[in-house]
Amino acid sequence: QAAMEESTSRTTKKKLVAVVGGGLVGSLNACFFAKRGFDVEVFEIREDIRKAKVVRGRSINLALSHRGRQALKHVGIEEKIVSQGIPMQARMIHSLNGKQYPIPYGRKGQYILSVDRANLNKQLLTEADSYPNTKLNFDHKLQDWSTETGLMTFVRPDGSKVQIKADLIVGCDGAFSATRKQFLRRSRFNYSQTYIPHGYMELTMPPVNGEFAMKPNYLHIWPRNTFMMIALPNLDRTFTCTLFMPFEDFEKITTGDEVIKFFQKYFPDTIPLIGVDALKRDYFRLPAQAMVSVKCSPYHIDDKCVLMGDAAHAVVPFYGQGMNAGFEDCIVFDEMMEQFNEDFSAVLPEYSRVRVPDDHAIADLAMYNYIEMRAHVNSKWFLFRKHVDNL
């Protein structure tokens, strides 16, 4: 009987898995499925970012932590990615008077890594591409798919349409997932979407005499209670500073001089480091970007389709776990594939059952951590100082 099952599972290996979205989670997921021997096709709306001159997307860099690393390790690329990351051992709190205080993330030797989003995505695509059973299709926008037949319709940049049928559709097409649209039409599918009243804006802090302008092995935070700025280091010795603030406050600042006045009041230590001219210019380069939190359940339809990454659970970025949780989705799914002998009809419901509560928990923690980062770190430090002063 066991031998029979083994041989059945081997003959089913040639099933086609369509991964919609070649972002961070989609490209990693393609590696997991390819490693299992499935035929894998990735469909990505954008052109191949490895060849593109300008890569549009969200944050320039992000924090990679243990969960994400575990998933990278599983497909053999942890070291490659980690070697191009910058360890951040602690948060570095910048108080208004310019003093800096570290708050470690964990015990000695523990750290999270600042990694370049575009580079990570490129490396994951290259890794997926290296499997002979994987095909990457760029400039393919998923328009719709059929829950009955699994037939997907993609639109090409010239307006032409391509139809492809897959045995399993894996929706990794991000917070505004087109794959998810079919879920919304179904009974007993729960869905909620919340925009927070804050937006974010990225500013660059250049190197000083070829060196980092601040200590590089920290995630710098300027907590100002109702808003905050953070800065993560990049390999080119710049820092990417991200200002998180209510949209109405962003909109109150309308001239270069007002930008400087605002920075003088709240982030005076950063003005010489970012530069007056750069601040005046870059603040108006792009409008502040919105942040959305999406929760839904279940994550699957029958044995046909499953959502992972932001398509299943877009979270606000304050816990630094959106991508990490998405990477963990891949490893959890893979473990279930092992447990249920790659039987989609058993794996998909079990995946929803196990994963929904965990991903919803991350979403809640991320919401909460915004208050922690912009306000509570202030008071925690205050309490700690008091404790030290009393010793």
Residues that bind ligand FAD (CB under 6 A): 20-26, 43-46, 58-59, 62-63, 141-142, 172-174, 178, 200, 309-311, 317, 320-324, 326
Complex with ligand FAD: residue 203 or 323, whichever CB lies closer:
323
For the bound state, the minimum distance from the C-beta of residue 77 to ligand FAD, rounded and expressed in Å, comes to 16
Q: Residue 65 corresponds to which amino acid? A: S
Complex with ligand FAD: residue 176 or 382, whichever CB lies closer:
176
For the bound state, the minimum distance from the C-beta of residue 329 to ligand FAD, rounded and expressed in Å, comes to 8
Measured in degrees and rounded to the nearest 5, phi and psi for residue 43 equal: -120, 115
For the bound state, the minimum distance from the C-beta of residue 199 to ligand FAD, rounded and expressed in Å, comes to 10
Complex with ligand FAD: residue 86 or 142, whichever CB lies closer:
142
For the bound state, the minimum distance from the C-beta of residue 20 to ligand FAD, rounded and expressed in Å, comes to 5
Complex with ligand FAD: residue 23 or 298, whichever CB lies closer:
23
Contact 185, 36 (CB under 8 A): no
Token pair, residue 346, equals 């058993």
Strand duo 39-43 + 16-20: pairing: parallel
Complex with ligand FAD: residue 25 or 31, whichever CB lies closer:
25
Complex with ligand FAD: residue 43 or 370, whichever CB lies closer:
43
Complex with ligand FAD: residue 161 or 260, whichever CB lies closer:
161
For the bound state, the minimum distance from the C-beta of residue 187 to ligand FAD, rounded and expressed in Å, comes to 24
Contact 42, 134 (CB under 8 A): yes
For the bound state, the minimum distance from the C-beta of residue 338 to ligand FAD, rounded and expressed in Å, comes to 23
Q: How many CB atoms lie within 10 A of CB 157?
A: 11
For the bound state, the minimum distance from the C-beta of residue 123 to ligand FAD, rounded and expressed in Å, comes to 14
For the bound state, the minimum distance from the C-beta of residue 119 to ligand FAD, rounded and expressed in Å, comes to 14
Complex with ligand FAD: residue 13 or 165, whichever CB lies closer:
165
The C-alpha angle with vertex 126 and arms to 122 and 127, in degrees rounded to 5, equals 115
